[in-house]
């Protein structure tokens, strides 16, 4: 896919990996809507950085835990840009509950994580499908290696990402042949989420990878960009983890 003068919606695009993906798209000449829920200052700063690269960009607040917000976010993108070519479902949330502590993970936490991490990507895809079909667009989901492993911040986070990986396959089937749907599954990143594990844990995680180093956001964004651009790939999840899942 040629990205110049295309339009992308990146949820959770104001910080971390979402911001890195948005910058990578802008460097290719893609105009953007940055979806955010709480990080207004960071989203505004990201828009400034994108516009400095010569593209149109706008920040739109959306609480993706609310079903109506998903359709509103897509509508706002179409109103602002007139089209939608790429949907990046990057927004996510989690809770930090050790796996054995089953009684510490309550229904409200379960539903909130599932709503943002799994229901919202489905609703956004549903809302965006007509616009994406019209231009032969694509969807890129941000999953996680937690979707393949029994370890991470919580059971519900792992299950939500496992569901997103299978949703990627299902959407690829449902939207073919007009729309491609793929996912990336990053390992541990030194973002605000990653820092919550503490320096000692992060160093141990990095040493457990085959490459013995932390992941660069730019490398993961480059992997995302490769799936967005490659018109021969759909229904796939690309693991970007330095070789961690091979251990």
Give the catalytic positions in this structure: 157
Check residue 32 and give left, alpha or beta (phi > 0: left; psi -120 to 50: alpha).
beta
Beta-carbon contacts of 147 under 8 Å, excluding residues fewer than 6 positions away, are 158, 161, 162, 163, 164, 165, 185, 237
Q: How far is residue 89 from each of residues 11, 34, 54, 129, 150, measured CA to CA in Å?
A: 6, 11, 24, 13, 23
User: Do you know the residue count of the chain?
Assistant: 247
Q: Which helix (H) or strand (E) holds 9?
A: strand 7-11
Helix, strand, coil in percent for the chain, rounding step 5: 50, 15, 35
- Radius of gyration for the alpha carbons in the chain, expressed in angstroms and rounded: 17
The DSSP result for 72-111, as a single string, is HHHHHHHHHHS---EEEE---------TT-GGGS-HHHHH
């Amino acid at each position: 896919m040629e990205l110049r003068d295309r339009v992308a919606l990146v949820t959770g695009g104001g910080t971390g990996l979402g911001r890195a993906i948005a910058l990578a798209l802008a460097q290719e000449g893609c105009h953007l809507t940055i979806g955010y829920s709480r990080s207004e200052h960071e989203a505004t700063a990201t828009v400034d950085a994108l516009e400095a690269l010569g593209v149109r960009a706008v920040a739109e607040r959306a609480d993706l835990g609310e079903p109506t917000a998903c359709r509103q976010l897509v509508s706002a993108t179409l109103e602002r840009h007139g089209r939608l070519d790429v949907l990046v479902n990057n927004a996510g949330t989690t809770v930090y509950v050790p796996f054995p502590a089953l009684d510490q993970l309550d229904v409200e936490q379960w539903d909130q994580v599932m709503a943002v991490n799994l229901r919202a990507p489905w609703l956004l895809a549903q809302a965006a499908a007509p616009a994406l079909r019209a231009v032969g667009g694509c969807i890129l989901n941000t999953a996680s290696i937690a979707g393949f492993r029994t370890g991470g911040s919580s059971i519900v986070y792992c299950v939500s990402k496992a569901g997103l990986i299978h949703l990627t396959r299902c959407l690829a089937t449902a939207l073919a042949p007009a729309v491609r749907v793929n996912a990336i599954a990053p390992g541990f990143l030194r973002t605000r989420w990653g820092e919550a594990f503490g320096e000692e844990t992060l160093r141990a995680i990095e040493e457990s990878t085959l490459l013995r180093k932390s992941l660069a956001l730019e490398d993961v964004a480059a992997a995302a960009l490769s799936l967005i651009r490659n018109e021969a790939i759909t229904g796939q999840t690309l693991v970007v983890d330095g070789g961690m899942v091979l251990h």
